[in-house]
Amino acid sequence: MIAKQKLKMRTSFVAFTMITLLFSGCKDSDKTENASTADIPVSREMTAELTSPPNVPTPVGRRKAKKLIVNMEVLEQEGTMTDGTTYVYWTFGGSVPGSFIRTRVGDEVEFTLSNHPDNKLPHNIDLHAVTGPGGGATSSFVAPGHEKKFNFKTLNPGLYVYHCATAPVGMHIANGMYGLILVEPKGGLPLVDKEYYLMQGDFYTKGEHGDPGLQSFDMQKAVDEDADYVVFNGKVGALTGDNAITAKVGETVRLYVGNGGPNLVSSFHVIGEIFDKVMVEGGSMINENVQTTLIPAGGAAIVEFKVDVPGTFIIVDHSIFRAFNKGALGMLKVEGEENKTIYSGVVQEGIYHPEGGGIQQMPEGEKKVKVASSNKTLAMKMESGKQIYTQTCFACHQAEGQGIPNAFPPLAKSDYLNANLNRSIEIVLKGKSGEITVNGEKYNSVMTRQAISNDEIADVLTYVYNSWGNNKTNVTKSQVDAVKRGH
């Protein structure tokens, strides 16, 4: 018995030794690095530039380690979640995610957290870049109208999340209290042409997705991980339309991507691009040629890619209903010369006759430019509406609004459509299921709620009403707003 136990102990000791040996290589070099980064001297002091998303501060370049003054203010403030829906966000620096902090390894950060006197609650900050108890949380707990100061030295290069860690922690994070702090290596990260700051978060509201008015936090939904909104940069549409991030053909883009959670991990993907490099989990390991990278809640990643062709590249959480139904969708707009070798675009479009008819050419689509403004001419709305129709409605309702027999009703010469504008707006806003009769035919299918803004709904309906023999209604955003408010 004793011998057996001894043998068991010996086996596990051997296994332990082997594991220790296996890891000792990397562990030792980490330690050496830590030991040396802890000893990096600082010269002079400077005040950190803080930026709100999607912007990032100037790269550290070759600057020496410094005493870096960071002044962060907590603000509790109402903001827009989506068109017609507001939420009281708790923020670091007035934005969700909070201000981006850019440091280099060896910096001695003097961090001051100020809690605005108009705030209602105490807050603190846990920075994952901090080596120390609570990541600074225990030293930064601060009541409204007060401020707290603490110091830390950045030992490990990487991209780190920071967040509030005041009880109930989940609620503080769910209300938007997270952001990113970058610790660049000595000499800085390699320079790129464009850098942007994105951070995903999930939100839980008393009402359902899209319900209008001021929405409050729903603790039970948060516990159940039943998110109403999953978004980049704090709201639906923070990175779409006029808010899209941009680049030119030939440029290298670096995205600093965080995930605040509180609950959901992100399957981060850019449609139509391949990440040339991913700094996996924001650390030192580089993966190459990646389609989708997983970003844990409370984690980050740095992705880089060169943009080779123009177009709008859609940024998503590839848990795809989150993208198209809950808001986790952004855009990167790339301008520049086409490269038909890399991507040809449509080279031929025709009618397909399986029984053997000839190919009939379709008229070539005109190039569409998105115009977003409140004062649009009918022509501008038609152009924007056509683009939205092509992206969103075309698959079911078809190019000429003819619909698909027995499945999706026609929009061309539609008595149902022309009889009631508000009903049409409501269907686009809220979706529709159940039986309806259009031009004498019964349809019983499902149309989902469309993830487009009120402005876009006005444009696309204007396009539909002014095409294919419909009654030429010019639909305005305020009409859409009214229907949204009225239900």
For Cu ion, which stretch binds (CB under 5 A), given 165-173, 303-311, 340-348, 389-397? 165-173
Instruction: Give me the least distance between CB of 112 and Cu ion, in Å please.
Output: 16
Nearer to Cu ion among residue 217 and residue 468 (C-beta): 217
Give yes or no for residue 172 binding Cu ion (CB under 5 A): yes
Which one of the spans 3-11, 96-104, 164-172, 322-330 is the region binding Cu ion (CB under 5 A)? Answer: 164-172
Beta-bridge partners for 293: 268
DSSP 8-state code for residue 167: S
- The two three-digit tokens of residue 264, written as one number: 């959901």
254 binds Cu ion (CB under 5 A): no
Taking the complex as a whole, the smallest distance from the CB of residue 194 to Cu ion amounts, in Å, to 32
> Rule CB under 5 A: which of 336-355 touch Cu ion?
none
CA distance 419 to 415: 6
Question: Which C-beta is closer to Cu ion: that of 177 or that of 189?
Answer: 177
CB of 122 to Cu ion, least distance (A): 7
* 454 near Cu ion, judged by CB under 5 A: no
Alpha helices in 163-217 (DSSP H): 169-174
Q: Is the distance from CB of 183 to CB of 102 less than 8 angstroms?
A: no
177 forms part of the interface with Cu ion (CB under 5 A): yes
Whether the Cβ atoms of residue 96 and residue 234 lie closer than 8 Å to each other? yes
Binding-site size for Cu ion (CB under 5 A) equals 5
Determine the Cα–Cα distance for residues 102 and 57; give it in Å rounded to an integer: 6
Q: Does 166 bind Cu ion (CB under 5 A)?
A: yes
Residue in 66, 102, 123, 153 binding Cu ion, rule: CB under 5 A: 123
Q: Do residues 437 and 444 touch, judged by C-beta distance below 8 A?
A: no
Beta carbon of residue 163, minimum distance to Cu ion (angstroms, whole number): 8
> Contact region for Cu ion (CB under 5 A) — 58-66, 176-184, 355-363, 448-456?
176-184
| Residue 127 in contact with Cu ion, rule: CB under 5 A | no
Q: Which amino acid is at 99?
A: S
- Interface region with Cu ion, contact rule CB under 5 A, candidates 25-33, 115-123, 206-214, 450-458: 115-123
Task: Reduce the DSSP state of residue 418 to 3 states and report it.
Answer: helix
Residue 66 binds to Cu ion (criterion: CB under 5 A): no
Alpha-carbon span 226 to 403, nearest angstrom? 34
Residue choice 164, 222, 301, 458 for contact with Cu ion (CB under 5 A): 164
Minimum distance of Cu ion from residue 87's CB (angstroms): 15
- DSSP label of 367: P
CA distances from 205 to 234, 359, 398 (A): 14, 52, 35
Residue 151's Cβ-count burial label (10 Å; 0-12, 13-18, 19+) is middle
**Segment near Cu ion (CB under 5 A); pick from 5-13, 157-165, 196-204, 342-350:** 157-165
Instruction: Return the closest-CA partner of residue 323 out of 242, 457, 232, 234.
Output: 232
Per CB under 5 A, which region of 57-65, 91-99, 171-179, 421-429 contacts Cu ion? 171-179
Within 13 A of 321's CA, how many CA atoms are on the CB side?
6
Residues within the interface to Cu ion (CB under 5 A): 123, 164, 166, 172, 177
